[in-house]
Amino acid sequence: EGDPHVWLDPVRFAAVAERTGAALGAEASARELAALLGALDDELRTGLRDCERREVVTAHDAFAYLGERYDLELIPIAGVSPEAEPSARDLERVADLVRARGATTIFVEPLLSPEVGETVARETGAETAVLDPLEGLTEEALDGGEDYFSVMRANLAALREGLGCR
């Protein structure tokens, strides 16, 4: 459907890994990765089960698969392309939704300017937090030991705090 962010849903990502592993003759490695992704899915499912809110306001529409998998309502400020600039009307629409739904956190991304998210947060009295769509780990992050799993667990922690999960 035009959304490339399949890796943000560990179940979908596991299916991709298994198909890719089969095509490359690396079934055993693919099964190992799929098992790790299954465990991550369990962590996310458990961690997001009991939350005060389900609305996730994001800088751009990268988290639809994650939202669908874990029953989160995504409210993106901009579209699927991270370079898309929201209009003043888009900002007003999202600010109205934030107020109406009682969202308390606007999620910004590490590789994008936080200005748009900060504007909505300022207008609504919300806080900001980082939610990483994993569109590019920096060399510094990789050298620091970060990987897909550590970033997804950091995303889980940010979501739990921002959504008031128990």
pLDDT band at 80 (very low <50, low <70, confident <90, very high): low
59 pLDDT band, cuts 50/70/90, is confident
CA distances from 156 to 2, 30, 97, 130, 159 (A): 25, 24, 23, 11, 5
Higher pLDDT, 135 or 51: 51
pLDDT at 113: 85
| Distance, CA of 81 to CA of 131 (rounded, Å) | 16
φ/ψ (deg, to 5) at 54: -120, -5
Distance CA 46, CA 125 (A): 29
